Structure 1
Amino acid sequence: MSAPPSPQRSPAEPPRRPGTAGETSAEHPWPVRLLASKIDAYVARMPWTWVEGQVVQVSDRPGAHVVFVTLRDTDTDMSLPVTLTRRVLSRLRDVLPDGLRHGARVVVHAKPEFYAKRGSLSLAADDVRPVGVGELLARLEHLKRVLAAEGLFDAERKKPLPFLPRVVGLVCGRASAAERDVVDNARLRWPAVRFEVREVAVQGPAAVTEVSAALRELDALEEVDVVVVARGGGSVEDLLPFSNEALVRAVAAVRTPVVSAIGHEVDSPLLDLVADVRASTPTDAARRVVPDVAEELAGVAQLRSRARRAVAARVERERSGLLALRSRPVLAAPHVLVDGPAAEVGRLRERTRRALAGRLDRAAVEVEHLRASVRALSPRSTLLRGYAVVRAVGADGSARVVRDPADAPAGTALRVRLADGELTARAG
């Protein structure tokens, strides 16, 4: 059984629009007005909420019933427009006599609104409250504890400053007194010092972003050996950017040593804790980053004088030592060292000669006695007195001494030994 034919759509019938965003496709898209209405409906369901930010723009036209304010995130460049009624703004004047001003930290109770025709999102506020100094200080104290626990303030991570930097990076306000203090005092101490200056906003909503970008830019320059972040004094609110978490982490991330010179001695933003060196004032920063050429020259002169005195004293000691050695008898008459041993050698040689002569004389007498004894006991002495030694010669040529006539029968060949020779005979 075949399936029934599907109903055919009339050419004039419009295509069915997808009911959800996930059903849309290139062939079946949503028109802009539909998407805008969907967003408007979604935003309309969002509840009222409390939002904190920093005021960067106030548009208060005389006679207008609504005041337009731009609220910016304190750590990023994100911002949203906020609309306030005159009634809300009048209540705010009870705690802020000067009204909303650029850079003020506020908390607003608002509901998001989407304007479909312009495709823009804004906040409609029914209450605005300033963030008090006490609350700001409490938040900074909490942030200080968190960053300290992470080790960002540890002394082990502090980098030493170079003795004489090739180039000093300087982050400061535009045409500020802090810049003049650092540059002028540094050049008074070391006239040849070079600077890479980055003039940025040092208060207000843009301060964190611009100071962080200047730090990264100077850190990327190979010849920059130290970076000074300088700003004059101000209120707690004015110095808040230098306690911002994003800026503190940016300082901790750079490889170049950083000197913090923010405000006066009593001011202590978190930047002072994360920096490698904290200077009490911009002038103090100039003193810390470069040496004083006059002090260095005085130090060199002092060291040269000390070295000269030390060398002269050493030479004088050695000269005195040589004079003392030369005054000793052994060096005044050096032959004395030889005369004594030479005389002793002469005496020993004479004793040796006499001992040897006596020994030879005694040996000669002993030899003579031995000669006389040998001569007296020699058989030749007996032969000289007329005796002879008779030996019988055998048939084999051997000879034996004849001690008895029986040893030499008649006809036996004899050999007779005399004192001065030998003769042969035959027994008769």
Structure 2
Amino acid sequence: MALTSTAEQPLPVRTVSRAVGEWINRLGRVWVEGQVTQLVRRPGMGTVFLTLRDPVADVSLRVTCPRAVCDAVGPALVDGARVVVWGKPAFHPGRGTLALAAVEIRPLGAGALLARLEQLRATLAAEGLFAPARKRPLPFLPAAVGLITGRASAAERDVVENARRRWPAVRIELREVAVQGPLAVSQVIDALRELDRAPDVEVIVIARGGGSLEDLLPFSDEALVRAVAAARTPVVSAIGHEQDAPLLDFVADVRASTPTDAAKRVVPDVGEQAVGVAQLRDRARRTLEHRLDREERRLADLRRRPVLAAPWVELDRRGQDVAALRARARRCVHHAFDVTERDLTAARARMRALSPAATLDRGYAVVQRASDGAVLRDPAEVEAGERLAVRLAGGQLGAVVGEN
């Protein structure tokens, strides 16, 4: 009902505020579209405050919601996100402000798309498709570079021109495909598999220029992501610009920020390599010269040693040692001869003293029976007429036993 009032009988503020609140409270829940600004999450508070702004009319509406409602939004709610809010308008008489008490918040357009992509990204990451351990290094100088890009696109020109500028002899295996629209995913997958089977293609670049989120959707397709993960050849993702991040970037072995950056990553710069080779050659020369100088100093030090500076001195010393050893050996041999000769003389003297010949020399004789050579000691052992052999110092003579 309309309130009645005059200048003479005005209504109190509380009456008008209460009436406005009662009228607004009769409104039901509504869906409101807008852009999130001034998002406030205070620690320890169960309520989140934000402003829902209409970017066309530059009109805004305060929104309050439980923290659980805000946290349930995926991806996480941030300033600038476009959302649809389901809530009930509420007027606060104490502050005289209007706010929308949100019951549910949904991402709108790109936000919903991003939420689905985030869910797919989490699923593929849990399977290990984005793990750093499965990333393969790029070859230093590939025999051929496979390039998958749009027909006559700026991305193709950036990759080809920069690659040939860096290494003029590089060979590009180009596959032109649709890079947006319903045919993009199947064509990119077919080109990827064809290049992956080529024996001389050692790296594959998938390139596209920048675009909207919808334009880049084919490069977040699950089938394409799994095809890249299954490829045997290293894959470089060069989709969009620095801020663009399709799921292809996560599964590729190398992520290039732009197509130009991809060209710099897949082939070396011939000028840089020439400079590097020259530096290595100079370094090797310096190392070799240093080694030669060191060996020359060592040889000079060796030559200054007495054994090499005057080798005959050592030979003379060794000759003196040999002569001394020879003289010592000679003295030892002579001494041994002398000792042996003395021993032999003494033994000869002892033998001579003990020999029967010595006794014979003193005039004695040895009488033996001629028949058997037996030595006779008693005259009764022989008979008259028996022949005897008498041995003297000067020789031996025969005798016949006579009558006694």
TM-score normalised by the chain length of structure 2? 0.68
Instruction: State the partner residue of 2:127.
Output: 150
| Cα drift, residue 166 of structure 1 | 1.8
Determine if the alignment matches structure 1 residue 316 to structure 2 residue 290: no
Q: Is the 8 A contact 2:389 2:396 kept in 1?
A: no
Q: Who is 2:273 aligned against?
A: 296
Alpha-carbon distance, 1:351 to partner: 3.5
1:425 match: 400
> Separation in 2 of the partners of 1:169 and 1:362?
103
Q: Match of 2:389, as an amino acid?
A: R
**Counterpart in the other structure of 1:406:** 380
Residue matched to 1:344: 321
**What's the counterpart of residue 270 of structure 1?**
247
Cα distance, 1:293–1:426 mapped onto 2, change above 3 Å:
same
Which residue of 1 is the match for residue 308 of structure 2?
Answer: 331
Q: Confirm or deny that 1:244 pairs with 2:221.
A: yes
Query: What letter corresponds to residue 382 of structure 2 in structure 1?
Result: A
CA distance in 2, matches of 1:245, 1:226: 21
Go from structure 1 to structure 2 and tell me whether the alpha carbon gap of 1:370 and 1:134 turns closer, same or farther (over 3 Å shift): closer
SS in 2 for 1:238: coil
Of 365, 368, 378, the match for 1:388: 365
Residues 89-168 of structure 1 mapped to structure 2, 5 A cutoff: 132-168=109-145
Helix, strand or coil at the partner of 1:400? coil
Relative to 1, partners in 2 of residues 1:336 and 1:245: Cα closer, same or farther, differing over 3 Å?
same
Equivalents in 2 of 1:309, 1:331: separation in Å? 30
Q: What amino acid sits opposite 2:398 in the alignment?
A: L
Q: CA deviation at 1:242?
A: 1.1
Question: 2:332 and 2:139 mapped to 1: Cα distance?
Answer: 86
* Partner SS, residue 318 of structure 2: helix
CA contact (8 A) 2:383 2:401 kept: no
Task: Give matches, 1:23-42, under 5 Å.
Answer: none
Q: Which amino acid in 1 is paired with 2:391?
A: R
Aligned pair in 2 of structure 1 residues 210, 364: CA closer, same or farther (>3 Å)?
Answer: closer
Is the 1:189–1:293 Cα contact (8 Å) retained in structure 2?
A: yes
Give SS of 2:311's match: coil
* Contact 1:144 1:270 survives alignment (8 Å): yes
Normalising by structure 1, report the TM-score: 0.64
Match in the other structure for 2:196: 219
Q: How many angstroms does 1:306 deviate by?
A: 0.2
Corresponding position of 1:202: 179
Matches of 1:423 and 1:159 in 2, distance apart?
126
User: Mind listing any 5+ residue stretches in structure 1 that lack a counterpart?
Assistant: 1-93, 95-129
Paired position in structure 2 for 1:24: none
SS in structure 1 opposite 2:257?
coil
What is the alpha-carbon distance in structure 2 between the residues aligned to residue 196 and residue 379 of structure 1? 125
CA distance in structure 2 between the partners assigned to 1:221 and 1:134 by the alignment:
40
SS of residue paired to 2:204: strand
Cα 1:345–1:285 change in 2 (3 A) is same
CA contact (8 A) 1:413 1:427 kept: no
> Compared with structure 1, are the counterparts of its residues 307 and 417 closer, same or farther at alpha carbon in structure 2 (3 Å cutoff)?
same
Whether contact under 8 Å (1:416, 1:425) holds in the other structure is no
Distance across 2 between alignment mates of 1:224 and 1:240: 27
- Amino acid corresponding to residue 400 of structure 1 in structure 2: A
| Counterpart-to-counterpart distance in 1, 2:197 and 2:328 | 95
**1:338 Cα deviation from its structure 2 partner:** 1.6
Whole-Å Cα distance in 1 between the matches of residues 223 and 344 of structure 2? 121
Task: Please give the root-mean-square deviation of Cα atoms over the aligned residues, in Å.
Answer: 2.3
Corresponding residue for 2:97? none
Structure 2 gap ranges (5+)? 1-55, 57-106
Instruction: Tell me how far apart the structure 2 counterparts of residues 400 and 214 of structure 1 sit (CA, whole Å).
Output: 133
Question: Is the 2:204–2:233 contact (alpha carbons within 8 Å) kept by the matching residues of 1?
Answer: yes
Query: What letter is aligned with 1:235?
Result: S
The 3 A distance-change label for structure 1 pair 327 and 412 is same
User: In the aligned structure 2, how far is the partner of 1:271 from the partner of 1:220?
Assistant: 20
Q: Distance in 2 between matches of 1:150 and 1:225?
A: 26
Matched AA of 2:397: E
Residues 206 and 386 of structure 1: is their aligned pair in 2 closer, same or farther, counting only changes over 3 Å? closer
> Distance between the aligned counterparts of 2:147 and 2:189, measured in 1?
13
